[in-house]
Amino acid sequence: MSTVEPGTDRLLVAELVGLLNDAEHYDGPGSTPDSRLAYLDRRASLLYRLVDALGDESSRYLAQDAEDRAEDVRARADALARECGDPPPAPRQLQ
């Protein structure tokens, strides 16, 4: 897969599979705004790690786009919470 350690490759693949599984439940029953924000944060983080592991700088824009989208959704959720008097969204989960 790449020039990184084989164990790292397996971990990235396992995280990718988990992320794809979570995508199926993104808007499903039981999903919450916080769980959707956590998913978007995980997606951006994993994309950055995949780009770093593969050394494919031409794909870094995909990771940046995912991070920008996550930040946009978080800002909108925060604004809506303030408007409605609800608690703010959970803090960003960095990996």
- 73-88 pLDDT, tens per residue? 999 999 999 999 988 8
* DSSP assignment of 13-57: HHHHHHHHHHHTTTTSTT--HHHHHHHHHHHHHHHHHHHHHHT-G
pTM: 0.78
Q: Are 70 and 40 in contact (CB under 8 A)?
A: yes
Identify the pLDDT of residue 85: 92
Decide if pLDDT at 1 tops 80.
no
Does the CA dihedral 16-35-32-76 come out positive or negative?
negative
Could you list the residue range(s) of the whole structural domain that residue 58 is in?
A: 32-85
Residue 92 lies in a domain: no
Number of domains in the chain: 1
**Which of the four pLDDT bands, split at 50, 70 and 90, describes residue 54?**
confident
Residue for token pair 């786009």 = 65
The answer to whether residue 52 sits within a structural domain is yes
**Residue 55 domain flag:** yes
Residue 23, domain member (yes or no): no
**R_g over Cα of the chain:** 15
Please indicate, yes or no, if residue 27 is contained in any of the structural domains.
no
Q: What percent of the chain has pLDDT above 90?
A: 38
33-50: pLDDT as tens digits: 888 898 999 999 999 999
